[in-house]
Structure 1
Amino acid sequence: MYPQRIEPQPGQESVWDYPRPPRLEDTNKHIQVIFNGVEIVNTRHAKRVLETSHPPTYYISPTDIKMEYLVLTPQSSFCEWKGRSGYYTIRVGEKEVQNAAWFYASPTRAFADIKDYVAFYAHFMDACYVDGEQVEPQPGNFYGGWITSDVVGPFKGIPGSWGW
């Protein structure tokens, strides 16, 4: 059974209006990622993936990331829409989190524009921001969407949502 869609207010988007298969789009929103007190991302040139029932996932070009803090891991997973992903451990000083960010080295044709772009799990970071607003991680620790006040759900990842 699908959940009851929350009606968006002016200036908001409902994740239930996002498409399936997902859509990729450019965004000029100000994206920041902080880990162990260091700002490792600060850009207005990100891309976001919008998929039914999921808050947006933001992908950042490696040119806008302090890549010296990312260490490639052997972890991989598969997305039916984007293809095989690779993962990074984030390490700043003595603090590190394994598989805290992911990317697609050879994405499907529909997602070719995010080749090597990196997405971060917000729940592993000190803070992630979209236009100055600290994001809330998508529930469930499996998905990587970022929830802000301009996006309404309910969101996949909450208890009982696995079958949506």
Structure 2
Amino acid sequence: MTRPAPRPQESVWDYPRPPALRQDDRRVRVECRGEAVADSTRALRVLETSHPPVFYVPAADVRTDLLRPAPGRTWCEWKGEARYWDLVVDDEVRAQAAWSYAQPSSGYAALAGHFAFYPERVDGCTVAGEPVRAQEGDFYGGWITREIQGPFKGAPGTRSW
């Protein structure tokens, strides 16, 4: 089997502000305790200056039966109000492992009906078979693959960049 050609390098400092929304046909997979929580070739990627991409997976490709509404909401100046979801597998709860936008702001309407996952709160995330490295910090949830170049916002001392 031939491997796909390597993707070109992307610097997060070339990503726009406000963020861009792009379709991505690579296979995106999220796993927890041996379960495929999400598996899709129809993900959307949000690209924002200084942040690794965040992948949003359509609900039809997510084991939504494993998600439970979690307390807390946050506000994104671009996308609107985010709600959080606990991931429950075999009675183990991964608190606020996912988030979604039920009614995203205009320009981001395509995110409705999609879920994003924090890589550090599940057992593994991959993009086209490549394991993802989590963005530092506990807020942004970006997915770092070998083509993504930083420095990245999220580590201690970078929140006000």
For the structure 1 residues 43 and 76, does the alpha-carbon distance in structure 2 shift closer, same or farther, using more than 3 Å as the test?
Answer: same
Aligned amino acid, residue 81 of structure 1 = W
Q: Secondary structure at the match of 1:60?
A: strand
C-alpha distance in 2 between matches for 1:74 and 1:56: 25
Residue number in structure 2 paired with 1:125:
122
C-alpha distance in 1 between matches for 2:75 and 2:30: 24
1:74, distance to aligned residue in structure 2 (A): 3.1
For the pair 1:91 / 2:88, whether they are aligned, the reply is yes
1:158, distance to aligned residue in structure 2 (A): 2.0
Per-residue deviation, residues 60-115 of structure 1 (Å, max 9, x unmatched) = 11000011100112321110000001111000002111111000011001100001
TM-score by length of 2: 0.93
1:136, distance to aligned residue in structure 2 (A): 0.5
C-alpha distance in 1 between matches for 2:51 and 2:58: 22
Structure 1: runs of 5 or more not aligned: 1-9
Q: Kindly, what percent of the aligned residue pairs are identical?
A: 44
TM-score by length of 1: 0.92
For the pair 1:138 / 2:116, whether they are aligned, the reply is no
C-alpha distance in 2 between matches for 1:52 and 1:13: 11
Report the count of equivalent residues.
155
For the structure 1 residues 74 and 163, does the alpha-carbon distance in structure 2 shift closer, same or farther, using more than 3 Å as the test?
Answer: closer
Residue number in structure 2 paired with 1:147:
144
Q: Cα RMSD between the aligned structures?
A: 1.0
C-alpha distance in 1 between matches for 2:119 and 2:32: 10
Aligned amino acid, residue 146 of structure 2 = S
For the structure 1 residues 109 and 129, does the alpha-carbon distance in structure 2 shift closer, same or farther, using more than 3 Å as the test?
Answer: same
For the pair 1:116 / 2:113, whether they are aligned, the reply is yes
